[in-house]
Amino acid sequence: MNCTFFSSKLTRNTPRLLRALTYPCVPVRAFAMSSSAPAALPAQSQQNGPAYKPRYIDIGINLTDPVYSGLYHGTQRHPSDLHAVVDRAKDAGCGILIVTGSDLEESRKATKLAEEFPGTIFSTIGVHPCSSQQFSAHKPNPQDMLNQLRTLALEAKNSKHCVAFGEIGLDYDRLMLCPKDIQLEYFEKQLDIAVEVGLPLFLHSRAAHEDFVRILSEREDKLPKRGVVHSFTGTISEMQDLVSRGWFIGVNGCSLKTEDNLDVVKAIPLDKLMLETDGPWCEIRASHAGSKFLEGYVEGAWKWVKKEKWIEGALIKGRNESCMVGKVAWIVAGVRGIGLEEVCEAAWRNTCSVFELGGES
């Protein structure tokens, strides 16, 4: 196993484990200045005129994962540094973090974080497709879990802490975690809750486009706020199908791995683009096709350490954070041959509009 961390509760966090296996952990490195940088340099490097200060919203960050509390493999390796993670994000221009709810318990935790960091952290509420067997196992019955999910979403929406319903969807790449029939059943049942709650959606789709779009299309007239298909790794035709139906596309390090991925990113309409890290996973690796566009990128002056050698204020090697969302934006700008500002401002406007965060201008 290549990843340096796993969640301590294997059943509850199984999808997280599989994502960790799929995207092995490597350190994120700084890059030197180069004349082949994208059209717009980060604010600290811009030479002429007033410096543009990028602003970001990380639409997908899993801050409820135990690694942000210093817990790896069930062992406490260092004190919780969650507050430092949030502070680093702000220092990097990422002033809003949307924390993903992957099941009922994690959705509750995400909402508590939104209460703790008002105006900075917001939550999503839902059950990941790979966790959908939790419904079948729930006592006294699956409907009770659905009812609890609905109540939590309604309460968190009314308190302005939750901005989306999800992470819900289909994942046919990992049917070993949850059979197809159960995924389909609870995708539809959660969508029915989403219609009632009236929040935009935070969606997951892997190797399931036909069923995914079919089920969404049956309810599109009842989902006027649409939402985002996050961590997109599908084809150009799948992306075009989704955006033609009004859905937005979330891009992170896992969306930048191959040349085919980059072709998709280049083709996403700017008015349908959102940015994310999906931390602690989906860091950008040197082997990723997108990494060739990182020349000229200037990383923050943070120290990187192994978890066993944690010091206050340092980033952990192999643990992605929201402060790295600018790296995603830089590659997107390079792939598209446009300025960083154009990418950042488009993603900012799109995200504020869909999730009703204000600050579109």
Residues 69-115 have pLDDT tens digits of 999 999 999 999 999 999 999 999 999 999 999 999 999 999 999 99
For residue 345, which of 262, 268, 246, 270 has the smallest C-alpha distance? Answer: 270
Q: Percent helix, strand and coil across the chain, each rounded to 5? A: 45, 15, 40
Q: From CA 165, how far away is CA 123, in angstroms rounded?
A: 9
Report the predicted TM-score, pTM, of the whole model to 2 decimal places: 0.88
Helix (H) or strand (E) holding 315: strand 315-316
Q: Which residue has the higher pLDDT, 267 or 10?
A: 267
Collapsing DSSP to helix, strand or coil, 262 comes out as: helix
Q: What is the pLDDT of residues 239-262, one digit of tens each?
A: 999 999 999 999 999 999 999 999
Q: Residue 101 in 3-state DSSP?
A: coil
Is the pLDDT confidence value at 45 over 60? no
Question: Cα torsion at 125, 127, 128, 131 (round to 10°)?
Answer: 150
Return the structure tokens found at 104. Answer: 């009922």
Task: Please return the burial class of 357, using the count of CB atoms within 10 Å of its CB with bins 0-12, 13-18 and 19+.
Answer: middle
pLDDT (0 to 100) of residue 326: 98
Look at 23-27, 163-167, 355-359 and tell me which has the smallest mean pLDDT. 23-27
pLDDT the model gives residue 121: 98
Q: How far apart are CA 268 and CA 240, in angstroms?
A: 8
